[in-house]
Amino acid sequence: MQAMVRHIAGETLAFAARWIASTPYDRVSTNLNASDPETKVRAEDWQKVNDEEAIGPKGLFSKQDRRVLWGSYGDWNLDSVWNCYYEDQAKYDKLRQIRKAADPYGIFTPNPFCVKRAD
């Protein structure tokens, strides 16, 4: 297991002038190298409950899931979790347009965890 401290932010946390209220939140990565498959299942179940209790409408740490780009976790397709990293759809769409202008052929696409080009 690997421990990671992640910032959970509400509507206002300052990260590069984005939001302004941050709460550190300990998360344990379930990227286990265990020979017992049940160990991985138990760890993932614990992580799911931990995340559900920490974030969301009744979250102990935050009502919104806000993440910093250096510490991605969960879904590696940024297009499906953009709302955890950017304030709103308009900002994400603007970044997609910039990406389209700067990299029209998608040459600089290292993995799915990057801003997708606009169509």
pLDDT tens-digit series, residues 73-116: 778 888 898 988 888 999 999 999 999 999 999 898 888 888 98
Which residues make beta-bridge pairs with 25?
A: 6
CA–CA separation, 119 vs 104, rounded Å? 10
| Whether pTM exceeds 0.75 | no
Helix (H) or strand (E) holding 80: helix 78-81
- Half-sphere exposure for 112 (CA within 13 Å, toward CB): 10
